[in-house]
Amino acid sequence: MRIAVVGLGHIGLPLAAQYASKGHRVLGCDINPLVVEMVNQGAAYPEEAGLAEQVQRAVVAGLLTAETTTSHAVGEADVVVVIVPLMVDRDHQIDYRAIESATHDIAAGLRPGTLVIYETTLPVGDTRRRFGPLLEEGSGLRAGQGFSLAFSPERVYVGRVFEDLRRYPKVVGGTDDASTDRAAAFYRSVLDAEVLPVANAETAEFTKLAETTYRDVNIALANEFARFADQSGVDALQAIDAANTQPFSHIHRPGVGVGGHCIPVYPYFYANRTEHAEIARMARRINDGMAEYAVERLENELGDLRTRRVAILGYAYRENVKEDSFTVAARLVRLLEQRRAHVLVHDSLYSKEELLERHLEPYDLADPGWTDAVVLQAAHQDYRDLDLGRIAGLRVVVDGRNSIDRSMLPASVRYIGIGRIGSVPVAASIGADRDQTVSANA
């Protein structure tokens, strides 16, 4: 087959490489010419395991090329997979501009008989009622007659996309039975995982919203437990680990907040369309409020934060991935600056120049200078053996991911975890497998 992948981000490019690995001709589309150039040179995002090798093999074999002209690539394709980000604004309203622009470009090149699949997470009904009409209007073709239309949610974690593509069933639903069948057959030809057809596109859309909202609610419950534990003088992580030995308990882990493209965004796709989403809305408030809670605990320990030098470790939204969409670090910076603290940021995945571009003051771990407090926001592997005790003036460490070995800290440094007291070992330390008890850094 000839497959057009529209959107070559941290999920779109691995998808393109996966399809090419099965011998299909893949045309990648992205509006960023730097991404297009990177792909055509056989390069890729370095943090995705196995991606660089797969992209290089596909490019050398002539099975993968990239371009900025989406309509041209679509005109050459039998199947079009759309994976353009859909985000929310500051008021939590959906911003459709990027994906609607991409859809107009797809419509301009759409040929009769093409299968179009949206993998971008969408509100329920959008494949059929929003994007179907746009494709029809721009192409002159009818969905279900002139072209096939389906939705299949991406269910992967950046950093291990290929592993997840093999592991999780591929859910797919079309706007008609024939589209469902075509999309299911397509995925069986490009993936090794089970393909799971559902009743229609709406069911497939809701599947992803249910998954992500469940995770958000679960993390919010863990965060509530952590705040209660702090108040009650017990260790939340030990209690959660003990509770999870019972097979009906699957409590996730507390943390300083939730970042990324998914969890801070997709629950709104559900909640904005119904009155019956009280739990989902509350979970968003709880998780977004954890940064404020962490700063308040720091303030309680240090007193007035004015002029205090506070270093945040990890600007990325989660460990070991160079991506800062909805990162909790940005919220921490804002809250600390509101209290007139002197805020510095370090991230082993970002250069000094990249931090400056984000209007952040870089923190030099090699020569840190006097520092009153450190806040661990992203538990990168590089921070595993970090000797915080050598930092001059350090009084407080806020472990936003409950990942620091507190035994490595000098007695003069106050350790503040999220729901932690005493010296109970942490079950999910930096670098541990967190599939069973998901970190609140999704």
Residue from 22, 262, 322, 352 carrying the catalytic annotation? 262
Q: Which residues of 365-389 are buried (b: 16+ CB within 10 A; e: fewer)?
A: beebeebbbbbbbbbbebbeebebe
Two tokens, residue 90: 């500051």
- Please list the residues that pair with 343 across neighbouring strands: 310
Residue 241 · residue 228 · CB < 8 Å: no
Residue from 29, 208, 322, 352 carrying the catalytic annotation? 208
What's the rounded Cα separation, in Å, for the pair 442 and 438?
A: 8
With residue 338 as reference, give the H or E element that holds it.
helix 328-338
Q: Based on the number of CB atoms within 10 Å of its own CB, is 358 exposed (0-12), middle (13-18) or buried (19 or more)?
A: middle
- Per DSSP, which regions of 133-281 are E strands? 148-151, 170-174, 195-197
What's the rounded Cα separation, in Å, for the pair 335 and 332?
A: 5
Two tokens, residue 237: 């992580």
SS3 151: strand
- Measure the N-to-C terminal CA separation of the chain; round to a whole number of Å: 35
Residue 385 · residue 348 · CB < 8 Å: no
* 262 is known as an active-site residue: yes
Backbone angles phi, psi at 7, to 5 degrees: 110, 105
The residue type at 149: L
- Closest of 218, 124, 166, 121 to residue 442, by C-alpha: 218
Rounded to 5°, the CA angle 375-349-47 comes to 125
- Please list the residues that pair with 3 across neighbouring strands: 26, 79
Instruction: Provide the Cα torsion 57, 58, 62, 65; round to 10°.
Output: -130
How far, in Å, are 84, 199, 270, 309 from residue 206 at the CA level?
18, 11, 8, 45
Annotated catalytic residues are: 208, 262
